[in-house]
Chain A
Amino acid sequence: MSIALLLEMAVSGDPHRLAVVDRGTRFTTTELSRFASGGAGVIGTAGVQHVAYVGTGGHMLPLLIFSSARAATPFTPLNYRLSAAGLQQLIGRLPEPLVVADPEFVELVAGAGKRVMTSEEFTQAASAAEPHEEFADPDEVAIVLFTSGTTSQPKAVELTHNNLTGYVTGTVEFGSADADDAALVCVPPYHIAGVGAALSNLYAGRRIVYQCKFDPREWARLVRDERVTSATVVPTMLDRIIAELEASPTDLPTLRTLAYGGSKVSLPLVRKTIAMLPHVGMVNAYGLTETSSTIAVLTPEDHRMAYAATEEAVSRRLASVGRPVPGIEVQIRDENGAVRPAGQPGELFVRGPQVSGRYTGIGSVLDADGWFPTRDTATLDDDGYLFIGGRSDDTIIRGGENIAPAEVEDVLVEHPNVREAVVVGVDDPQWGQIIVAVVVPEQGAEIDVEDLSEFVRKALRGSRTPDRIEIVEQLPTTDTGKVLRREIIRQLSENLRSAT
């Protein structure tokens, strides 16, 4: 099924419903649909094979997603924080694209693609163009997203119409939102969660309120003023929101659910959020670009039960990503491909209609039975709750022993003086690799390295205690909060070399 049909259904369900709010711009479902038909006309006339977008999103994201879908042309939102060279290089990998850019980024993409238009030019042309509608083959690519490239060159993930509508119709009930429901979306447009939000909230009948540039105080203001009922954030945003609410306490009476995901969140932060916002249901969403967004969810009910539980098997679920969504099957496999039982760690494989596993220039990486290797290490518990360990590539092998960094990090962040911690393996002539912990202290706190080592040793075996602990002011991350482990390892290795 084409993603264009999601919009068609939203209009058919309620043609007058307010669907998108972005500062002064407001679209009902019908207005969004009209603009998208005109936008499809603009794309059709331009004679391009792809549409790319460089900008901060807001109403431009649903507009371009549906304009491109109705023109049966694949669409790629790009990371507007990239340099001109970075953007030009990614645009060069797209076939004959029309490049739409917010005015502040137009200079960065000058001369790129087949044609460049500003967002205003596109919107104006769309409002004047002949409406256009082409039916895309549902197995054709609808959206191409570049991975953040924390471990390698960015890969171009191809999501078909069927992948995306499989996700939406498999996880969201059409029109299930209450008439007053509103979702605050502050995740960037080039992130799969941004694409997912545009589709799933429209389908649920939930008004989308956009915040294009995240700021915690403005976020809280929007929740109050727009009477927001649900919101999605990445962990770094959650951290800043909680700090803001601590500094200037604010009521968020309408907020019912707060979803977090995109990278690992520390347990102390989750506990703090639950304690500060007891009326808000927390949702941990786990997914990958390659799986068209969320594949497992830890629900508000799961959070409450785990938070209140005294039984270890239940309380530890606060650190899990919950259970798979309908339509997703999961398997944990060992290095030989054998399926492992509950409680045993291995690599997570997933299968379902929303799973693409296809990259431009590489092809499909699904196995013969349609399973996608996530390259995340994971464990299932007896009740099917999924625990994510980290990227398989990040596993440290010290003296022949496999150590998941997350295991050590989870202990480190429980220390009252530690704000953030990352554990990496650094090459070592004696052990193969040694465990190095890089920690950021809580504001105003001092970290005693000996004391912290002892703290870890008490919780884990001696062989998992960091060989070295480095104290830093901040960690290098992507702008959605993913820690750049490669960068940390590179710096550590350089420091080691210059020290010897």
Chain B
Amino acid sequence: MIKNGTRLQSQVCDTQVIVVRSADSLDDLRCGGEPMVSLDAQKQPHADLDPDFTGGSTMGKRYVDDAGAEVLVTKAGAGALSVGNTRLVLKEAKPLPASD
């Protein structure tokens, strides 16, 4: 299973995420339809953004799946996040007042 705190990048757009809560499902984490790779890995030169997985993700938001996995978007991009062919869902947060 991928480690909490692992940073991953999309191969087809600018998206970067960090794993907040890992689950086995994240072994098949994709962005824009292509597998996400670690930040220091080489991107495949010929991978293309899958038109079924566009729409992007929002900077600084958390995305979750049914298995309990959670990732935080640390850089926004054009591709949508998915596990296999199932899109991750935006996790709504209850806003807290500024306390410090």
Contacts and interface: CB of A to CB of B under 8 A. Distances in A.
Contacts of B95: 173, 176
A193 B60 contact: no
Contact of A281 (B20, B72, B75, B97): B97
Given A259-B98, A326-B94, A162 B59 contact: no
10 contacts: A1-B72, A5-B7, A9-B60, A169-B20, A171-B99, A200-B100, A259-B99, A293-B99, A297-B97, A326-B93
Contacts of A13: 59-60
A230 B76 CA distance: 28
Interface residues of B, number: 19
Given A5-B74, A8-B74, A12-B75, A174 B98 contact: no
B61 interface: yes
A294 B5 contact: no
A197 B97 contact: no
Interface string B71-100: 010111000000000000000011111111
Contacts of A15: none
A285 B98 CA distance: 9
A241 interface: no
Contacts of B72: 1, 169
A294 to B, nearest CB: 5
B10 to A, nearest CB: 14
A193 B99 CA distance: 9
Given A9-B74, A12-B74, A283 B20 contact: no
Given A5-B18, A5-B74, A174 B97 contact: no
B100 A232 contact: yes
B59, B93, B96 — which one has the most chain A CB atoms within 10 A of its CB? B96
Given A176-B95, A201-B98, A201-B100, 17 more contacts: A1-B72, A9-B60, A13-B59, A138-B5, A169-B20, A174-B59, A174-B60, A175-B59, A193-B100, A196-B100, A206-B98, A232-B99, A257-B98, A259-B100, A261-B100, A300-B97, A326-B96
Interface string B1-28: 0000101000000000010100000000
A172 interface: yes
Contacts of B59: 9, 12-13, 174-175
Nearest to A14: B59
Given A5-B74, A174-B60, A175-B60, A299 B100 contact: no
A325 B96 contact: yes
Nearest to A299: B97
Contact of B99 (A5, A9, A285): A285
Nearest to A8: B74
A197 B18 contact: no
B96 A172 contact: yes
Chain A contact residues (Cβ within 8 angstroms of B): what range? 35 or more
Closest 9 CB pairs of A and B: A174-B60, A285-B99, A196-B100, A230-B98, A197-B100, A138-B5, A294-B99, A283-B97, A193-B100
Interface of A: 1, 5, 8-9, 12-13, 138, 162, 169, 171-176, 183, 187, 193, 196-197, 200-201, 203-204, 206, 230, 232, 257, 259, 261, 281, 283, 285, 293-294, 297, 299-300, 325-326
A57 to B, nearest CB: 14
Contacts of A138: 5
Interface string B31-68: 00000000000000000000000000001110000000
Contacts of A285: 99-100
A306 to B, nearest CB: 15
B60 to A, nearest CB: 2
B20, B61, B98 — which one has the most chain A CB atoms within 10 A of its CB? B98
Contact of A259 (B61, B76, B94, B97): B97
A183 to B, nearest CB: 6
Contact of B96 (A169, A175, A196, A297): A297
B100 A293 contact: yes
Contacts of A281: 97
Nearest to A206: B98
